């Protein structure tokens, strides 16, 4: 199966939202910097202060990467690395459905100092397994930066089967992790059962993080952690440590919010929550739309405790 890899992190990494100004025309750098600090420093829940996350993911699906311009992308990478300041690893989403663009974004991120790259399965084109392997190999040939392969068929329209994922892991040794967001625990188990030593498999679904870790996964790349980094990271830490009763307690405390995050297209629900916490504007870029009024009822009901626990103090 090739040489053992070294995972980029074990635990939780938020797939960070990209804060925009109220009209969506520009990046809100101050809000982005503050969000990074919030993730790393942790947050309160149920009367306790929990430590923050173990890594950051920038320009993933939740970061609205398809509508972020090239100049904005470069700026977000530089700001994230500057604000994180080596406290946790920073992984940059660089995958697209065009191999040449993915290579360019990857080399730029690596040159800027990224700790790792998140490479999504190519969307729209529907490549064969041979095409997927060649795509990832081309990115790996252009940079030595470690890669996390990202499977999210609900967005790409094309599932990276366990067999395809394992082929990538076999052929591309700089792929050190897999973000599995297929929603299929059987597929997660198949990857875990046959992955080379040292490859980290992360749940890409918040509500499947606990069972994925119990199967041998290394953690979670999370949506909900944006609003509640402390309890989400603590849930995963407890699961990794084998403290399953405590992990289950937090899983069920967060479950409604995990599900409500997808009542409409991510990150519209999440940004509405972050706006209610006072962390940023709720703006998303078209073709996404702001959270609807019917959706708001479900989201704010599910997130009520987390909004209160994570709200920015009036003095901030």
CATH number at residue 124: 3.20.20.70
What does the pLDDT read at residue 315? 42
What does the pLDDT read at residue 1? 43
d(CA 82, CA 73): 14
Q: Indicate yes or no: pTM above 0.85.
A: yes
Q: CB pairs under 8 A, 24+ apart, for 50-53?
A: 50/229, 50/230, 50/231, 50/233, 50/234, 51/230, 51/233, 51/234, 51/237, 52/229, 52/230, 52/233, 53/11, 53/12, 53/13, 53/14, 53/88, 53/222, 53/225, 53/229, 53/232, 53/233
Domain count, the chain: 1
Query: Average pLDDT for consecutive 10-residue bins of the chain (316 residues)?
Result: 78 98 97 98 95 98 97 98 98 97 98 98 96 98 97 95 98 98 97 97 98 98 98 98 98 97 97 97 98 95 93 65
What does the pLDDT read at residue 4? 67
Establish if 307 belongs to a structural domain.
no
The answer to whether 188 and 182 are in contact (CB under 8 A) is: yes
Closest of 140, 89, 139, 148 to residue 113, by C-alpha: 89
Instruction: Enumerate residues 6+ apart whose C-beta is below 8 A from 189.
Output: 215
Establish if 151 belongs to a structural domain.
yes
End-to-end CA separation in angstroms for the chain: 51
Runs of H (alpha helix) within the chain:
29-41, 70-84, 99-112, 129-142, 153-156, 162-171, 185-194, 209-214, 229-240, 244-260, 268-276, 293-302, 304-310
Domain interval for residue 147: 11-243
What does the pLDDT read at residue 3? 55
Active site (catalytic) residues: 150, 179
Establish if 253 belongs to a structural domain.
no
Establish if 213 belongs to a structural domain.
yes
d(CA 33, CA 54): 17
Chain-centre distance for alpha carbon 207: 14
């Amino acid at each position: 199966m090739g040489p053992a890899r070294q995972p980029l992190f074990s635990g939780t990494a938020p797939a960070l939202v990209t804060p925009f100004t109220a009209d969506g025309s520009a990046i809100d750098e101050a809000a982005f910097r503050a969000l990074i600090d919030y993730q790393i420093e942790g947050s309160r829940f149920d009367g306790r202060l929990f430590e923050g996350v173990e890594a950051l993911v920038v320009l993933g699906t939740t970061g609205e990467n398809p509508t972020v311009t090239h100049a904005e992308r470069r700026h977000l990478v530089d700001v994230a690395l500057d604000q994180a300041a080596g406290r946790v690893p920073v992984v940059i989403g660089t995958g697209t459905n065009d191999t040449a663009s993915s290579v360019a974004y990857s080399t730029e991120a690596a040159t800027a100092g990224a700790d790792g790259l998140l490479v999504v399965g190519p969307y729209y084109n529907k490549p064969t397994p041979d095409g997927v392997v060649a795509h990832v190999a081309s990115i790996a040939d252009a940079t030595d930066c470690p890669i996390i392969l990202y499977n999210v068929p609900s967005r790409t329209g094309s599932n990276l089967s366990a067999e395809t994922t394992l082929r990538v892991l076999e052929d591309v040794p700089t792929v050190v992790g897999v973000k599995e967001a297929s929603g299929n625990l059987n597929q997660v188990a198949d990857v875990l059962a046959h992955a080379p030593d040292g490859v980290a498999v992360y749940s890409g679904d918040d509500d499947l993080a606990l069972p994925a870790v119990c199967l041998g996964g290394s953690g979670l790349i999370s949506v909900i952690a944006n609003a509640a980094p402390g309890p989400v990271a603590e849930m995963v830490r407890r699961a990794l440590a084998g403290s399953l009763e405590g992990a289950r307690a937090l899983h069920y405390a967060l479950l409604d919010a995990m599900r409500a995050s997808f009542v409409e297209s991510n990150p519209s629900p999440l940004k509405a929550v972050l706006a209610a916490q006072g962390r940023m504007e709720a703006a998303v870029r078209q073709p996404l739309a702001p959270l609807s009024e019917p959706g708001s009822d479900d989201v704010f009901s599910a997130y009520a405790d987390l909004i209160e626990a994570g709200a920015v103090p009036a003095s901030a």
